Amino acid sequence: MPELASRDHVRRLLPLVRQVMAQASVAPRAVDAVAYTAGPGLAGALLVGASFAEALAYAWGVPALPVHHLEGHLLSPLLSADAPQFPFVALLVSGGHTQLMRVTGVGRYELLGETVDDAAGEAFDKTAKLLGLGYPGGPALARLALQGQRGRFRLPRPMAASGDLNFSFSGLKTAVMTHARGGLDEQERADLAAGFEEAAVDVLVGKGMAALRQTGLQRLVVAGGVGANRRLREALDAAAARAGARVFYPEPELCTDNGAMIALAGALRLRHGAPQRPAGHAFGVRPRWDLAELPPAG
């Protein structure tokens, strides 16, 4: 419920910032800028974060940097100890987005393909709900799939042979619904979870490898919540090894939405000369914001 969530954000945000700054032993005078998610997302939640960040920046006399949520995900692997070098292909797999991007630098993103319906994370969550699992569904479904027998249920691989780099997961979710309609025992639930996970992973791996072949690149970066899925990582690593390529992942705690990725995107923009705006300026948020609209950094 977006309105209730936004009100809860208002209540929690200031104590949370005080807590993390105290834990990190960081004083306001050490802050160079305040980065915040300006979109895409729910307008109410975005406005809470944006107004708070802009007020902090005004009070501290530093720039406020609006950041694109997906740019945060795309750049999050740069926080890893084993960070990739540009250029690379990025497979962004989250609850709201499934996209393949060619990334040649900060702000230099070329869309190669995207989902035409449900995102991968959304399909995981909806399938988990069909199987009676809790939210967030992705981790719960992955745990259940470990107990299942792969191959027991024949599930489709939508658009696997489409000849392009687009995705579709709605038909896969519908196939699970059809199998679950008559009721399932515990082992059947686990087998169906394993079948769904295997089908989704097959599609993601196939498209990711096709993107490397199409671009001629040998580095694939995986970002977003689904990137924490162990089966996906195993399958991607194996496919990349056969192709002489390499896959980079952020640590699991950096796969789901987090403040560190937004801070990184803001810091990189600041380093590359992001435009400085006067303190106290008007600001807004972008509930719908195409990643391609971002200007290159530097």
Please tell me the pTM assigned to this model.
0.90
**pLDDT exceeds 80 at position 274:** no
Give the three-state DSSP class for 31.
Answer: coil
Q: Which of 113-117, 162-166, 254-258, 284-288 is predicted with the least confidence, judged by mean pLDDT?
A: 254-258
Find the helix packing angle between 170-180 and 120-130, rounded to 10°. 10
- pLDDT given at position 69: 94
- pLDDT given at position 278: 62
First to last CA, the chain: 39
Cα 60 to Cα 38: distance, rounded to the nearest angstrom: 20
- pLDDT given at position 183: 86
Give the three-state DSSP class for 50.
Answer: helix
The CATH classification of domain 85-249, taken from the options 3.30.56.10, 3.30.360.10, 1.10.645.10, 3.30.420.40: 3.30.420.40
Task: Return the HEC string of 206-265.
Answer: HHHHHHHHHHCCCEEEEECHHHHCHHHHHHHHHHHHHHCCEEECCCHHHCCCCHHHHHHH
- pLDDT given at position 153: 92
| Cα Rg of the chain, angstroms | 20
Cα 188 to Cα 83: distance, rounded to the nearest angstrom: 40
| Cα–Cα distance list, 229 to 1, 158, 207, 240, 241 (Å) | 27, 20, 17, 17, 18
CB-CB neighbours of 79 under 10 Å: 15
- pLDDT given at position 252: 86
The CATH classification of domain 2-72+256-293, taken from the options 3.30.420.40, 3.40.50.2000, 3.40.50.970, 3.20.20.370: 3.30.420.40
Domain pair 2-72+256-293 / 85-249, same fold: yes
Cα 135 to Cα 115: distance, rounded to the nearest angstrom: 22
164, 210 in Cβ contact below 8 A? no
- pLDDT given at position 273: 83
Cα 23 to Cα 11: distance, rounded to the nearest angstrom: 20
Instruction: Report H helices in 146-229.
Output: 170-180, 186-215
| Tens-place pLDDT, residues 21-59 | 999 999 999 999 999 999 999 999 999 999 999 999 999
Please provide the average confidence, as pLDDT, over all residues in the chain: 93
- pLDDT given at position 134: 81
**pLDDT exceeds 70 at position 277:** no
Cα 88 to Cα 102: distance, rounded to the nearest angstrom: 6
- Cβ neighbours of residue 246 closer than 8 Å, sequence gap 6 or more: 218, 219, 220, 240
| Tens-place pLDDT, residues 178-232 | 999 888 999 999 999 999 999 999 999 999 999 999 999 999 999 998 999 999 9
What are the residue boundaries of the structural domains of the chain, listed by start? Answer: 2-72+256-293, 85-249
H/E segment holding residue 93: strand 88-93
- pLDDT given at position 135: 79
- Cβ neighbours of residue 61 closer than 8 Å, sequence gap 6 or more: 279
106, 272 in Cβ contact below 8 A? yes
141, 187 in Cβ contact below 8 A? no
26, 34 in Cβ contact below 8 A? no
| Tens-place pLDDT, residues 70-106 | 999 999 999 998 899 999 999 999 878 899 999 999 9
**Beta strands 246-248; 219-223: pairing state:** parallel
Cα 215 to Cα 246: distance, rounded to the nearest angstrom: 14
**pLDDT exceeds 80 at position 149:** yes
